[in-house]
Every structure is written in structure tokens, then in C-alpha cells.
Amino acid sequence: MPIRATSLAASYLSASCALGMKSSRIEMSPPGVDGDSVQAQGGIETVGSLGAGLCVGDIVCIHVTAKPFREVAAATGSWINHVGIVVDTAGDQPLIAESTFPCSRLTSLSRFIARSKRGRVAVARLSKPLTSSEEQHVRAAAGRRMGVFYDTGFNLHSLRQFCSRYVREVIEEATGVRIGDIETFAALYSRRPQAELRFWRFWYFGHIPWKRQTVTPASLLRSPHLRCVFDGVATDATVG
């Protein structure tokens, strides 16, 4: 059975899912992008109350603390460094399809948020509500990409996957809506000339592939086709 809404925020999420209500913008650039100083616009919720209002196709955004993900946040100037997409809301809690190490998989909402520093989470939704057919297409598109190995090189054209590419391609295949900006590493860092490159030189064995095309979690959330429906903290996420 679906989780019952237990708070005003959950009721708001449910209503906005059905009615396409306009909501706030995700705070992308806090005073430090390591997740320590982020102001949560949507307050504090339980996983149950948050999950009660999620819809298939929603994009769930978190801050993972592993070093490569922290460097992604620093490079993009956003606390968000990992994203997944809701593919099922009929069970005890929503299921999130994600590209992660070692390969793409389904993860419960609680386990997904439990990986985020201090339970930090935001939810973005397409401005136009999905039809039942589009929801089915989201599930199918996500399913076709299950079990694909994670691309640690963040190459948009590789045979592997990474989180923002995964979500972008699922949304586009299912709805025809294209979110996120394709950009080279050079273009990405040209906007943040103060960014530290030592980690990425090590990561790429001394040769950063500046001409490589990629798409970042932050660029997905800047899309005019998305709106924020929650930006806050989930208090009781567990890995169990």
C-alpha cells in the first residue's frame, strides 16, 4: 500500500503532482558546496511524508560524501552531486532508479536519502504533469538501462552510464523533454576558474580530457522544464 501522507508538505506534494502547481526554486549554490552550509527551503520531513507525495518521473537530488562526488559539487558550484528518478510509488516507499557504482539499480527512497549528508534532499518535477502512458515509458526507459556499469570518466558518449546522463536519457526517451546542458569539461571549468584541479588530474592520470562532453546534476536542475517541489532535509532515512 502507498505511504499515507503525514504532514502538510506531503499534502502539498500530492496536490502539486495532480495539479501541476508552481513551487519554489532549488537553492543551487550555498556558501560552500560540501553540504555543510546549505539552507533547506522546504524544512524538515520524514521519509514517509516526503515519499507520500512523490510521482513517477520526479528527480531526487542528494549530496553524496565520496570524494569524486564532492569534487563534482565543487566543479559545478552546487551542493547537488547525485540524482535519481522515481519509477514506482505503489509499494511501502518509492523506488529510485539510479546510475551508481558499480552499476545502475533500483534503490528505496530511504536508502537513497540515507547516503546524503545530513539527510539533505531536493525533489524536482517536470512542469507538465506526466500522463499514465509517459509514466509507463519512464519505467520502461529506466528498466532498459538497469545493470549498466558506472562510467567513472563521466563521458556522455561511452557505453557506460553516470547519474545525470541516466536521468536525462530516461526523461528524454519517456517524454521527449530534454533537460540539462551538454558541455565539455573545458566549458564547465571556464565558469569556475578558481576551482581546484589537483583531484581531477590524479583521476585522469595527469591528463584531464578537456574536450570530453558531459552533463552534470546541476545542469539538469537548471532546466526551465523543471520546478522544485521540495528542498530540505529528511530526518529518518536509514540504510536498512
Give tens-digit pLDDT for 96-149.
999 999 999 999 999 999 999 999 999 999 999 999 999 999 999 999 999 999
Which fold is adopted by the domain 8-19+31-234?
Answer: endopeptidase fold (from Nostoc punctiforme) (3.90.1720)
Give the pLDDT band (50/70/90) at residue 90. very high
Q: Spell out the domain ranges in the chain.
A: 8-19+31-234
Report the pLDDT value the prediction gives residue 41, as an integer from 0 to 100.
56
Mean pLDDT of 37-61: 84
Phi first, then psi, for residue 188 (nearest 5°) are: -60, -45
- Tell me the percentage of the chain whose pLDDT exceeds 70: 81
Residue 12 has pLDDT above 60, yes or no: no
Give the pLDDT band (50/70/90) at residue 3. very low
Judged on CB neighbours under 10 Å (0-12, 13-18, 19+), 18 is exposed
DSSP symbol at 148: P
Amino acid letter for position 3: I
Report the pLDDT value the prediction gives residue 42, as an integer from 0 to 100.
58
Residue 150 has pLDDT above 90, yes or no: yes
Indicate the pTM of the whole model.
Answer: 0.85
- Tell me the percentage of the chain whose pLDDT exceeds 90: 76
Residue 34 has pLDDT above 60, yes or no: no
Give tens-digit pLDDT for 191-203.
988 888 999 999 9
Judged on CB neighbours under 10 Å (0-12, 13-18, 19+), 106 is middle
Separation of alpha carbons 188 and 75, rounded Å: 7
Spatial CA neighbour of 42 closest among 33, 53, 34? 53
Q: What is the largest CA-CA distance in the chain?
A: 52
Spatial CA neighbour of 234 closest among 105, 93, 129, 69? 93
pLDDT, mean over the chain: 86
Give the pLDDT band (50/70/90) at residue 218. very high
Which triple of cell numbers denotes residue 178?
Answer: 530534454
132-144 vs 163-175: helix crossing angle, rounded to 10: 140
> Count H helices, E strands: the chain?
9, 9
Mean pLDDT of 8-34: 44
Report the pLDDT value the prediction gives residue 18, as an integer from 0 to 100.
43
Mean pLDDT of 211-224: 96
